[in-house]
Each structure stands twice: as structure tokens, then as C-alpha cells.
Amino acid sequence: MGIQHGNIGFSWGKSGLLPQEEKLAIENKFKKLRIGIPRDNELTETRVPLTPEAVEILVNEGHDVLIESCAGKSANYLDKDYSERGGFIVQDKHSIYQCDIILKVAPISLEEADILRGQQTIISSLIINTQTATYFHKLAEKKVTAIAFEYIRDESENFPVVRSMNAISGSTAVLIAAEYLSNAHGGKGVLLGGIAGITPAEVIVLGANTATEYIIRAAQGLGAVVKVFDNDINALSKLQNLFGLHLQTSVFHPQVLLKALKSADVVICACNGHETDLRYVVTEDMVRTMKKGSVIIDIGVAYGHVVETSECRTLQNPSYVKHGVIHYTVPNLPSRVPRTASIALSNILLPILLKTGRRGGINALLKEDKGLRQGVYLFNGILTNANIGKLYDIPSSDIDLLMAAF
């Protein structure tokens, strides 16, 4: 609806009453996107980056969304759920990789990189320690702009994808611990919690972060005794203020930790090798002192070992026993609850895609969105992440300097 005031036209926009010239400028910025969602290998990844409801919003905005058949199957989204909301279901993986934006959960593989048309945008996870120099060289040859969603920050400088996935991982870890303490998987038949007359189970958490908060809520809700270890006194204080004196906290003092491990029923590692200056927080000798049938769950196993006996496993082969202790070490724990995790991912990625179209493309959005810019590790084929450069001996450039040239 428009109104006239003198010789100037006005119309209602998303920000209220806009002059006609400003409305036209906004409309001229819009760029129609062609978004491709390939099917991930369900043996290692069961999440999908967009829900059918999110696809409908994008289609109504004027974008095309191509979904490889059965991409949402593991999260219990059928092809018809997407097609009924305007998505295009395709059987040919090759056509997916010709889209402007490739959106997936697992990192793009070398085989998938081969079929990219080039000069596209890839938004996915990265999992830096699982890659090789060849991987980054291949993507650079295609001159892609690649964004790792675990590095994206919001306006509060938080990592929204990491926070949401950690929250899911924390709650899920406690449920897995309860399952493995029972005799269903060879555990010692202990209830994670407590009832009258029986000493409650003891849960040790390594690291104080978002995952830890949800671990504490779930474990204490079941009646378990929880103790958290971290060298960050401020993080421990926040948890103490949040949960009160029932929560026990400590720094990583070797003797205190060793004593706690000896009596623990469950150890959940919520930190990773990048978050501690210790090579191993829990050494193999420490694991030997733990009770037979106790459980170790390592959430951050893909990002550097904190428990010396941890080894990266898959959803199909998630656990093993070492020194009488059950280890559950799957890196992408949210894939145990893919529907919930997919909704959480979609809630974060959808606004980014909408803004990309409204700003006229990814380059325009990156110029104004510092948080999204921090997720970029390749810009038009140029490496922009210094950590990757150091790890794989590849020259890198500052993303802010590159953006100034575009």
C-alpha cells in the first residue's frame, strides 16, 4: 500500500514507512538464490541443515531450493515434506553441486569438491583436525567462498551453532551415560541417579561451557552428584551461582581429579584439546584407576583428545571397553537426535540465507556482517583462516583486507 505526500511517494516496508526511492533501492539489491542441499552419508551424519518449514520461507521469498532425494530421511523428513513446501527434489547429486550455495552439515568431501562448478558458496561444518592440505587446495582451485558454521559468531560474539549443538550434546550425553551404566550395553547395572537408601551415582564433567550447563541440569534432575573441573575460575563461578552449593567444582589439580575419577561412575568430557593447555587432562594411567563398568563419554573427541584413551568412533560403532571402562566417543553427538538438531541448525542458517538474498549476495552480506565473516575460511579461493594456514603450511590472507577490495 502506498501514499502520496507532495511529489514524493511513500510505501510500507519491513522497517515501516519508506520513501519510494528507498523501497526501490531495497528491491534492486535482492538477488535470487539457488540453494542446493545434498544428502550426507547417514553412517556418519544424520542431520539436515534446513527443515521443510524453512524451505517454504525461502521459496516464498523468491529463492529456489534443490534437495537431493532422501536428504532429510535420517531426521524423519520425507521428500514430500519438502516438495509440498516448494522445494525441488532431485535424484542427481551433480545438479545439487551446481547451485549458487551448497548447504550441508558434514564437511564437503574431496569427491564432492571435484563436481563443484566453481565460484560458489559452501556453508557446512569444517572439523579442522579431520582435513588435509589437499582438501583446502582442491577448494581453492574451485575459487569457492567457504563458511564453517562452527566459527560463525552472533552480535554478542557467541558461537550460535556451537552453543546450540553443545546444548543438545550435553543433554544427550547424560541419557547415553544412563543407558551404558545399565546392563543393556554391558554396564554394571547402576541407575544414574539416586533413590532413598542408595548412594547416588557420581558424574564428573571436564570443562565448564554450554554443554556442561545442560549436563548438570540433566544429571542433577536424575538425582546424580555432579562435580565440574576447569581451570577457568570465572566459568566455574558462573556455574556455581547458577546451580548453587549442590554443585561441586574444582580446577584441574591432578591429585584432586585422580581422587574424583576413582569414585566416579560417569566421566563426561565437555572440553577439547583447544580449550586446555594440558596435553591430556585424563591420562591412561588415570583411566586404569577408575571403577570397572564406569563410563567415559567424550563429546569433543574430534577436536583434540583430552582423555588419552579416547579414539574417534562412528554412530554405528560408538563404544569400546579399555581397562574395564566403557568409552563412548562419537564426535557428532547431536546426530543421535537428528530431528531436534536439524531444527536448531535451521533456525540459525535460515536468517543468514534470507539476509544473503536481501543484501544482493554473499559478498555484500559479508561486508556488513562481521560475525558471519569470521566463519569464512576461504574467500574466492583464498585461505583466510590463519590457524588452518599454520596447521597445513598454506599462506593465508586477512578476510577484512580482502573484503576491502570487493
Q: Which residues pair with 331 in a beta bridge?
A: none
What residues contact 188, with CB distance under 8 A and at least 6 apart?
A: 181, 291, 292, 293, 294
Question: Residue 9: phi, psi to the nearest 5?
Answer: -90, 140
pLDDT number for residue 282: 94
pLDDT tens column, 94-147: 999 999 999 999 999 999 999 999 999 999 999 887 789 999 999 999 999 999
pLDDT number for residue 245: 87
How far are the Cα atoms of 4, 59, 276, 372 from residue 26, in angstroms, in the given order? 19, 19, 47, 21
pLDDT tens column, 205-255: 999 999 999 999 999 999 999 999 999 999 999 999 999 988 999 999 999
Question: Residue 45: phi, psi to the nearest 5?
Answer: -145, 125
- CATH 3.40.50.720 domain range(s) in the chain: 31-148+338-404, 162-336
Half-sphere exposure of 363 (CA within 13 A, CB side): 12
pLDDT tens column, 347-397: 999 999 999 999 999 999 999 999 999 999 999 999 999 999 998 999 999
CATH of domain 31-148+338-404: 3.40.50.720
**Whole-angstrom Cα distance, residue 320 to residue 398?**
43
| This prediction's pTM | 0.86
Q: Are 264 and 190 spatial neighbours (Cβ–Cβ below 8 Å)?
A: no
Question: Residue 38: phi, psi to the nearest 5?
Answer: -80, 165
pLDDT number for residue 104: 96
Give the model's confidence band at 274: pLDDT under 50 very low, under 70 low, under 90 confident, else very high.
Answer: low
DSSP-derived secondary structure for 267-291: EEE---TTS-SSS-SB-HHHHHTSP
Angle subtended by helix axes 338-359 and 160-181, to nearest 10 = 170
pLDDT of 3 > 50? The answer is no
Please give the torsion angle defined by the CA atoms of residues 170, 75, 374 and 100, in that order, rounded to the nearest 10 degrees. 180
Whose CA is closest to 259, among 334, 327, 204? 204
pLDDT of 277 > 90? The answer is no
pLDDT number for residue 316: 87
pLDDT of 183 > 60? The answer is yes
Other beta carbons less than 10 A from residue 73's beta carbon:
15
Angle subtended by helix axes 52-60 and 338-359, to nearest 10 = 10
**Whole-angstrom Cα distance, residue 295 to residue 54?**
38
- For cell 565440574, what's the residue? 228
Given the candidates 3.30.1360.200, 3.40.50.720, 3.40.720.10, 3.30.420.10, the CATH classification of the domain at 162-336 is 3.40.50.720
